[in-house]
A = this chain, B = another copy of it.
């Protein structure tokens, strides 16, 4: 009887729940808007309803190995309490694992959302062939996940991999974390929009100014479209994104000497616009990278690969389903 797992990806915008078998095949996916404004009870009820629905449907298929949930924000791994989450305003010191387990009458595995995305890419995405990788997720903010020797690196209190807060420019823009010039201030969707608005205010970006007037929902995506269309001001913004990412990746390569660094999240779709500046910065700033740069003439050389994520927004969903599959324990039963 083949085993399957249920993965949950709880974002600020979408709540997605999927049944995935042990080989990584998606059996079914349920997507709902994460109606955060209706409060945490509503979101958790939607989640547990969908889990029940999937577990009832696939009961005949095989053993439910477990339920994994990717949660944004600061999570106390021991107690399963969400301390704080920027995207879930009323999730403050919220014992979410206890609450879900009470409703389902079974155990669930919680994990930070950036870590589950890294785990997903390791399992089924860009990192299938490596044992260790570092993933940087460029979204509204910038998150990070570390897989070292096939295991998530959480640090002593689950706060590791805050890669969005690596220093890029010590006197740079003030960051929400209290520091200045963190990666997040240059490479998040929020930062791209801010840099566009700054360029417009300085009168340096007439085309961007026109786009902002025409488009009420002016966003990083529009800045990217303008860069693709050849607008110099938009292209310059993505060079800043790339240089900041390159500086951070150079640090990470010098620190870890890993075989792979993966860039994911929505902003990663602008890869073509930021990758050249990123790679130039990595080459300049990391001699560990230049010593391990891929060389087509040396296929067996130990090489550092810097690449785009492959699973897009599904990385977190697959990674969440992978969580219980990695744990050695018996099957779970969902109470209906």
| Residues of A that sit less than 8 Å from B by CB | 74, 132, 144, 146, 148, 153-163, 165-170, 177-180, 247, 250-252, 254-259, 284-288, 290-292, 302, 304
Which B residues are in CB contact (< 8 Å) with A258? 155-156
A143 to B153, CA, bound (A): 23
Distance in Å from the Cβ of A86 to the closest Cβ of chain B?
Answer: 12
Q: A165-B285, A179-B285 are in contact. List 7 more A-B contacts (CB 8 A).
A: A132-B156, A146-B255, A153-B256, A160-B257, A163-B254, A165-B288, A178-B285
- Contact (A179, B284) CB under 8 Å given A156-B257, A167-B250, A254-B166: yes
Q: Would B165 and A286 count as touching, CB distance under 8 A?
A: yes
Q: Give the CA-CA distance A292 to B156 in the complex, in Å.
A: 10
On whether A259 and B162 interact (CB within 8 A), knowing A170-B168, A284-B179, the answer reads no
CA distance A210 to B302 in the complex (A): 52
- CB pair A259–B156 under 8 Å, yes or no, is yes
Residues of B within 8 Å of A259, CB to CB, are 156
Whether the pair B286, A161 counts as a contact (CB closer than 8 A) is no
Known interface pairs A170-B168, A179-B250, A250-B167; A157-B302 also in contact (CB < 8 Å)? yes
Determine whether the beta carbon of A257 is less than 8 Å from that of B291. Answer: no
Integer count of this chain's copies in the complex: 2
- A257 contacts B157, CB within 8 Å? yes
Q: In the bound complex, do residue B285 and residue A162 qualify as a contact, i.e. CB atoms below 8 Å apart?
A: no
Q: Are A302 and B251 in contact (CB under 8 A)?
A: no
Residues of B within 8 A of A158 (CB): 257
Given A160-B257, A251-B251, A284-B179, decide whether A167 and B168 contact each other with a Cβ distance below 8 A.
yes
**In the assembly, what is the distance between CA of A255 and CA of B285, in Å?**
18
Tell me the smallest distance from the CB of A166 to a CB of chain B, in Å: 5
CB distance from A97 to the nearest CB of B (A): 19
Q: How far is the CA of A146 from the CA of B286 in the complex (A)?
A: 18
Q: How far is the CA of A286 from the CA of B167 in the complex (A)?
A: 10
Are A159 and B292 interface neighbours, CB within 8 A?
Answer: yes
From known contacts A169-B170, A251-B251, infer whether A159 and B285 are also in contact, taking CB-CB under 8 Å.
no
How far apart sit A168 and B163, CA to CA, in the bound complex (Å)?
15
A255 close to B292 (CB less than 8 A)? no
A74 to B163, CA, bound (A): 27
Nearest B residue to A83 by beta-carbon distance?
Answer: B291
Question: Are A291 and B251 within 8 A (Cβ)?
Answer: no
Kindly identify which residue among B154, B166, B168, B169 contacts A255, using a CB–CB cutoff of 8 Å: B166
Identify the closest chain B residue to A130 (Cβ). Answer: B156
The answer to whether A286 and B179 touch across the interface, beta carbons within 8 angstroms, is yes
A166: contacting residue among B162, B180, B251, B290, CB under 8 A: B251
Query: A334 to B316, alpha carbons, bound, how many Å?
Result: 54
Closest 5 CB pairs of A and B: A155-B257, A160-B257, A162-B254, A179-B285, A157-B302
CB distance from A243 to the nearest CB of B (A): 8
CB-CB < 8 A to A291: which residues of B? 74, 157, 159
CB pair A255–B161 under 8 Å, yes or no, is yes
Chain B nearest Cβ from A304, distance in angstroms? 8
- Complex interface: chain B residues within 8 A of A144 (CB): 255
